[in-house]
Structure 1
Amino acid sequence: MSAPPADRRPDADVLVLGAGVAGLAAAHRLALGGARVAVLEADVRVGGKLLRGEIAGCAVDLGAESMLARRPEAVELARAVGLGAALRPPAVFGGALWTRGEIRPMPKGHLMGVPGDPAAVAGVISPDGLARIAEDSSRPATPLGEDVSIGEYVAERLGPEVVDRLVEPLLGGVYAGDARRISLRATLPQLFEAARAEPSLLAAVRAVQRSAASAVAPEGAAAEGAATRTAETSAPPVFLGIEGGVGRLPEAVAASVRAAGGTVHTGVAARALRRTPDGWLVECPDGPRTARAVVVALPAGPAARLLRETAPTAAAELERVEYASMALCTLAFRRADLADVPRGSGFLVPPVDGHTIKAATFSGNKWQWVADQDPELFLLRTSVGRIGEPALLERDDDELVRLSLHDLREATGLAAGPVASLVTRWHAGLPQYPVGHLDAVGRIRRAVEGLPGLAVCGAAYGGVGIPACVADAHRAADRVRPPAGGG
């Protein structure tokens, strides 16, 4: 790797590697602050897991379809790039569970499936399971230590049925993960802290609810039907979408970066990264690029490869990050072919029930802008794939559609064939947050922040949802922001 001449001005104040929502949000914050910013993206498009497409002539999201509205970062970014007028709440509220042979309303008053009152989960949990939950108040305290698996802890306090029927499907919607491996401290930090202070888990859930913590709603962008409004007539929506698709957001952010004087390059991969006397050099297929600072906004694996030479401790931690793969099957039906149009926004599916799909979203009900595009069509999508199911995603598209239709028919009676189908595969799409995740993130950040002008951000660190990615991006941007008057 050859270094540029010593007297050459850096190509940018900051190079941002990766044009997912985190990388673009970092570039946007920097560009609006006056920095010369260049974004390098290996793919031919921007957006990462935010992708819009088309089926049967209708625009749809083929990745994340909504963003948590109770955190401000994503909504504020959408407004900042001109999409405020396009923000839309769901047209219907309240998720459901397909379990024990029926579609049942999602219980209210839970935190990611963890109830505060046994009565709230009656109908989903068996009488024996309800009795087991009630024992929580009289059981001796369970040590939490520095971290604990949410599934193991909830099973110890409330019984395994709560994990199998409620926690697993909700976490599956967010992480496509295994509840018995996922960190309580990383996914529900308010509940983790409350459980340290309260005599029982039920009491801890009620304490969090009293504090009106945002943990009532899961943060993951992939969550489908996982949260409900507590007062639909007055409370603000938990989630917001964007008319035309959440996939519009990265496109609008990239346009805003360019309008502010930044550049966004697609089809340009960062092959290597190293320090120079004046900053950083990134080796690309079309030649080296230099900058005073670099933000690495890539998934854990590619980030580890770039950081192996300059930040080996961070690289070693990143190499251990696991990812789950999943697929979305988007289906279009003629309404005239349906004996009954499915009701509600969709449902989640507990793995214990043994079905293929893990969720179904009735997009034509959930989003008015989807329904309005063609009143004669009904659009829905299913989610397939969890951690530990690689063989399932090796099946071809037609087989995944067939398996989805089989489950939809069993769940809802839907017997018609679709007029169009589209399978979108997200290989290694969702980072996993196992026990100890936050400690690992701390070690990564300390190793990176020991190097001037270097920062990391993205879904692998502080949250997989869009608002968390934007917040992490802003943190990274602020760390490498050039001093006032620099550039």
Structure 2
Amino acid sequence: MSAPAPDPGPDRPARVVVVGGGVSGLTAAHHLLTRAGRPLQVVVHEAAGRVGGVLQRAEVGGVVLDLGAESLLARRPEAVDLVREAGLGDDLVHPATASAALRLEDGLHPLPAGTVMGVPASPEQLRALLPAADVERAAQDEERPAAPLEHDVSVGAHVADRVGRAVVDRLVEPLLGGVYAGHADRLSLRATVPALWRRAAAGGSLMAGVREAAAARPAGAGPVFAGVAGGVARLPEALAAAVRARGGEVRTGTPVTGLERDGRGADAGWRVRTAAGTLAADAVVVALPAPAAARLLREPVPAAAAELAAVETASVVIAALAVPVDQLSGLTGSGVLVPPVVGAAAGLRVKALTLSASKWAWVAAQREDVAVLRVSLGRAGEDEVLGWDDQRVLATAVADAGALLERELRPVDAAVARWVDGLPQYAVGHLDRVARLRAAVAGAGRLALAGSVLDGVGVPACAAAARAAADAVLTELSEPAGCTGGA
């Protein structure tokens, strides 16, 4: 058991414990070590036997590919900057193709370019996808007055009101499902599609807002997405190595089981309990999925725990299939998105399919005779698939992928990955919840929160939140205060 100790002065290394070794926790640890203005000891605790969280990769049929997020939003600089800071800048790549297809009742259709989360810039983009009556319904958006929205609403409610339900069901839902594994009628417009929220808050045509968003993009801004040759999962691995190189510790297989104050007052430190013992810390950064963070903070910060516990999460199952390359001959594009209403009517359980060997040159280059594809199953509220064994997951993935691509697939190898609680659901009012959550954590003193539950589920948003958490801790540690010490 640790005990409070007097602060011997500014030269004593302050200790910060980071709980969680996913990309958020590792980014926070790296930022702490690179920005600290005083000696600092950083210890990362990760419950799993590896770092990375949902960022993971595997070898399937002699081909290495990501089984977690495989691309980064390049137009936000945080992730690309992080890749460079981790020493992987020379391995930044862009997709060979980003043209996805949409599965509708009559087959596959190219996904229209220039939409914002499926909302078109013009009714003309819908003519090949929807019946004439639905296209005309969408066109009414240009003529119908729209008062500015004052309060958050669901994506589905607002988009349906402006351009019709068919646009929600067949374009917005599959794209939101790909990012959040959620449902349009339950996700916050303000939190998940800020570009559309800005138009809604200003009033007027929604499609005009899509055109304005496109016009606002800088000329020559470059590709929307980037990746890392060898897999985005290399990023947390490289960050862990960089943390260790700077003197930090990354302890895998060591879950944190409890957290309590080490003394009284906002300047008191923390006791961090693990199976290996108790560690005294001057400050703590919690970078866990919402349910795990809620459990850890239930006693020390109950107000924050209550906010976290109220966040619904979605779990996703990924099946990677390696097939002889001739079984995918003639296919182009990056993959297929499946609207829930179409998938349900067709008896399909998959929500998306990625042709990894077509999308990424570094994947295709590994073998000439084998191609790989990823099949994604699971949305919020669909926990059944998470409990399936690998055999059932793979059988469903092979059958549904074959139906989508209209051919028989005979994999030579396969792998399954599960993102348990991997995607928080940003319900209506989510940003207000995040403000309350951050206030509760900040009020505890020498405690900060990072992770996808805050500002976005992508790597750029997680990196930004992690750096903000690290900066908040560094600011508090720079203030005169008593510190804890010893292990």
What is the TM-score with the length of structure 2 in the denominator?
0.91
**2:29 is aligned with what amino acid?**
A
Match of 2:100 in 1: 95
State the alpha-carbon separation in 2 of the partners of residues 5 and 197 from structure 1. 53
Residue 42 in 1 paired to residue 47 in 2? yes
Match of 1:270 in 2: 256
Partner of 1:274: helix, strand, or coil?
Answer: strand
Match of 1:461 in 2: 454
Residue 441 of structure 1, CA deviation: 0.5
**2:198 is aligned with what amino acid?**
E
Moved more, 427-436 or 87-96: 87-96
Instruction: Find 2:294's aligned residue among 301, 304, 307.
Output: 304
State the alpha-carbon separation in 2 of the partners of residues 86 and 341 from structure 1. 29
Match of 2:321 in 1: 331
Moved more, 455-464 or 58-67: 58-67
State the alpha-carbon separation in 2 of the partners of residues 8 and 175 from structure 1. 45
CA contact (8 A) 2:26 2:239 kept: yes
Match of 1:252 in 2: 238
State the alpha-carbon separation in 2 of the partners of residues 407 and 342 from structure 1. 16
Residue 159 in 1 paired to residue 152 in 2? no
CA contact (8 A) 2:149 2:203 kept: no
Cα RMSD (Å): 2.1
Output one character per residue of 1:238-291: Cα deviation in whole Å (capped at 9) or x when no partner.
111111111100000000001011111111111111122341111111111111
Moved more, 67-76 or 198-207: 198-207
Partner of 1:209: helix, strand, or coil?
Answer: helix
Residue 427 of structure 1, CA deviation: 1.9
Match of 1:71 in 2: 76
CA contact (8 A) 1:173 1:359 kept: yes
State the alpha-carbon separation in 1 of the partners of residues 157 and 129 from structure 2. 20
Partner of 1:241: helix, strand, or coil?
Answer: strand
CA contact (8 A) 1:12 1:38 kept: no
CA contact (8 A) 2:289 2:421 kept: no
CA contact (8 A) 1:11 1:290 kept: no
The 1:198–1:140 alpha-carbon spacing in structure 2 relative to 1, beyond 3 Å, is closer
Output one character per residue of 1:288-339: Cα deviation in whole Å (capped at 9) or x when no partner.
1111111011111111122122221111010111111111110001124x27
Match of 1:108 in 2: 113
Instruction: Find 1:345's aligned residue among 312, 319, 334.
Output: 334
State the alpha-carbon separation in 2 of the partners of residues 235 and 454 from structure 1. 37
Residue 476 of structure 1, CA deviation: 0.2
**1:369 is aligned with what amino acid?**
W
State the alpha-carbon separation in 2 of the partners of residues 426 and 187 from structure 1. 20
Instruction: Find 2:303's aligned residue among 313, 325, 330.
Output: 313
Partner of 1:177: helix, strand, or coil?
Answer: coil
**2:259 is aligned with what amino acid?**
L
Residue 22 in 1 paired to residue 24 in 2? yes
Residue 437 in 1 paired to residue 441 in 2? no
Residue 403 of structure 1, CA deviation: 2.0
CA contact (8 A) 1:40 1:264 kept: yes
Match of 2:349 in 1: 356
Instruction: Write the mapping of 1:279-428 to structure 2, written as runs, cut at 5 A.
Output: 279-336=269-326, 338=327, 340-353=329-342, 354=344, 355-428=348-421
**Identity over the aligned pairs, expressed in percent?**
49
The 1:142–1:157 alpha-carbon spacing in structure 2 relative to 1, beyond 3 Å, is farther
**1:271 is aligned with what amino acid?**
T
Partner of 1:104: helix, strand, or coil?
Answer: strand
Residue 444 of structure 1, CA deviation: 0.3
State the alpha-carbon separation in 2 of the partners of residues 341 and 23 from structure 1. 42
The 1:331–1:304 alpha-carbon spacing in structure 2 relative to 1, beyond 3 Å, is same
CA contact (8 A) 1:364 1:380 kept: yes
**1:301 is aligned with what amino acid?**
P
What is the TM-score with the length of structure 1 in the denominator?
0.91
Residue 56 in 1 paired to residue 58 in 2? no
Residue 4 in 1 paired to residue 3 in 2? yes
The 1:388–1:344 alpha-carbon spacing in structure 2 relative to 1, beyond 3 Å, is same
**1:348 is aligned with what amino acid?**
L
5+ unaligned residues in a row in structure 2: which ranges?
none
